Structure 1
Amino acid sequence: ITYIHTKLDGFIYLACIMDLYSRRIISWKLTKTLDTGPILKSIEEARKRRPSQEPIMIHTDRGIHYTCDLYRK
């Protein structure tokens, strides 16, 4: 999650998923809150764009968004 400071709205937050093989951003969500929902939606969108029968590995910073119950489910 990247914090972006704006003059009008204060901070907004960018959650993005990068395909490390192609180095392309395959999904992103911009939000005004630090809720887990947009992060999960970004992951769901990325999985749809890169379908695979094999397990997918996601590397994170192990922050609270990536260790909460909703993320693990």
Structure 2
Amino acid sequence: MVRRYHLYLAVVLDLFARRVVGWAVSSHPDADLVVKALDHAWGQRGQPDKVMLDSDQGSQYASRMFRQRLWRYRMQQSMSRRGNCWVNAPMERLFRSLKSEWVPTMGYRDLPEAKKDIGDYLMGYYNHHRPHSYNGGIASAMAEEKPKSLSGIS
């Protein structure tokens, strides 16, 4: 008998080039999940400060644990207003792509398999190979590097 359960995914997306900079998977949609995704993003980006993080109004993002982490990292939070689907469109597009292009129809056997496969998609295929119409048909990692080569910033 196959056991069915839900997995929850939290992603931090850099809107400049639509690049995934942090993510976490859990069997619970709690504050710990979004804090892990934020920690991953903060580390991946070299521990920046004075960053604006936009989120929806989910209880995880309004939790004391998440807000304290934002304070520690010197990030400012912006929450989209209730019912404003346009602000969250890039994230919803990413989730649609993940589900339609990558996740097996029968799902995953267990959490470790899901974490590995989803990580391969987000940090590998999605960032480095998948063309994005927002970026003129190039992958987000390439689009992010393009302005640096044009401006001379390295």
Give TM-score scaled by structure 2 length.
0.40
- 3-state DSSP class of the match of 2:7? strand
In structure 1, the gaps of 5 or more residues are: 1-6
CA deviation vs aligned residue, 1:38-67 (integer Å, no higher than 9, x gap): 210110110111132x41111101210011
1:36 partnered with 2:55:
no
RMSD: 1.6
**Residues 1-73 of structure 1: pairs in structure 2 closer than 5 A:** 8-51=3-46, 52=48, 54-73=49-68
Q: After the TM superposition, which parts of structure 1 deviate over 4 Å for at least 4 consecutive aligned residues?
A: none
In structure 2, the gaps of 5 or more residues are: 69-154
- 3-state DSSP class of the match of 1:66? helix
Give TM-score scaled by structure 1 length.
0.78
Identity %: 26
| Code of the aligned partner of 1:41 | K
Aligned length: 66
The structure that is helix-richer by fraction is: 2
